A = this chain, B = another copy of it.
Amino acid sequence: MSKSTIYQIAEQVGVSASTVSRALSGNGYCGRRTKAKIMEAAKALNYAPDHAAKILKTRKTNKIIFAVPDICNPFYFDMINGINQVAEEYGYLLILYYTKHRLSEELKAIQNVKERVADGMIMVSFHFCEENISAINDLSAPVVLTNQYESPGGGDRFDYVYVDTFEGTKQGTKHLIGQGLKRIGFIGGSLSEQTGRQRFGGYREALLEAGLPYTEEHVIESDYTEKGGYLAAKRLLESNGRPHAIVAANDLMAIGVMHACEEAGLSIPEDMAVVGMDNLDVASRVHPKLTSVSLEQEDIGRRAAQILMDRLHGRAGYEKAVKIVPKLVVRQSSVRMH
């Protein structure tokens, strides 16, 4: 049987539509007996409220959009998970919008918010530029970004939540230093990109703080792939005074490092300690299990969603910019057993 409207219920019961609306929504007065009859009729007529009509009148969609550059990347799954936890708690549905690393798609996502498809948006932007920013600032709906960003004028309307990857590699490096290791190599991404520089910076600072010498030969720029890590590690192993530990800027490269060591007959962690970053599933599945810096994606998602909810409910006390501190997960690859 197809569903019905409040008008049909009203007719059936013999009351006005306003009364039916009040009875069903609970807003406003409604007599006990009338209410019971309305409820009964609603059931009998297979009533379900029409979402679109409700939205049109109330201006609330109870949906949020998560605009994500890459749907295939496990990194973002955890964010989705975190976002959904909070969204659900507040009774919001989550719309996934796949931007494919394209500015045009990011703008379309913003347009969706403008058309009131959703009440707010969380976005991982890969094209953080004037066009983008002004489009977001033009929205009346709140937006939370997960980019690190210093607002030049300070007048931006959005908030952001980001991970401090500098702190991440710093923690990883300090952990190795704490294990008594002194010659520590670093395999990162390109230093011409911000991401690459940040991760390198943390490694560099940990050495500095510990008063350890910095050897340029022990730092290799690679490409975040397993193969890249493997090749980089081979070079490090051939360098004179080879390092006894390696910090890799992500887990895939760290796994490449492990394979290179295995091939060279070096055992991990005895001959070479390894630390990765991202804390992918695979980190705990390789042998030996890989110590890795978790970027706390789920937490990013949760915090971003929380800020969005705070904004949507006009609550005060949220922070415009939240910095998430990564968390070192120590496993076998970096701890020598005695």
Residues of chain A at the chain B interface (Cβ within 8 Å): 1-3, 46, 48-53, 55-56, 61, 63, 71-72, 74, 77-78, 80-81, 84, 88, 93-98, 111-112, 114-117, 138, 140, 226, 252, 255, 259, 262, 281-282, 285-287
Assembled-state Cα–Cα distance A220/B1 (Å): 49
Assembled-state Cα–Cα distance A63/B252 (Å): 36
> Which residues of B sit under 8 angstroms from A98, Cβ to Cβ?
84, 88
If A48-B115, A95-B93, A282-B282 touch, whether A71 touches B63 (CB-CB below 8 Å) is: no
Assembled-state Cα–Cα distance A306/B262 (Å): 46
Taking a contact as CB atoms under 8 Å apart, the answer to whether A3 and B114 are in contact is yes
A268 CB, nearest partner CB in chain B, Å? 12
Assembled-state Cα–Cα distance A321/B307 (Å): 44
> Which residues of B sit under 8 angstroms from A286, Cβ to Cβ?
285-286
Taking a contact as CB atoms under 8 Å apart, the answer to whether A81 and B77 are in contact is no
Taking a contact as CB atoms under 8 Å apart, the answer to whether B287 and A259 are in contact is yes
> Which residues of B sit under 8 angstroms from A281, Cβ to Cβ?
74, 281-282
Among the listed B2, B46, B112, B116, which residue makes an inter-chain contact with A93, where contact means beta carbons less than 8 Å apart? B112
Q: Can you report 5 A-B residue pairs in the complex whose CB atoms are below 8 A from each other?
A: A3-B114, A48-B114, A50-B116, A51-B115, A93-B97
> Which residues of B sit under 8 angstroms from A46, Cβ to Cβ?
138
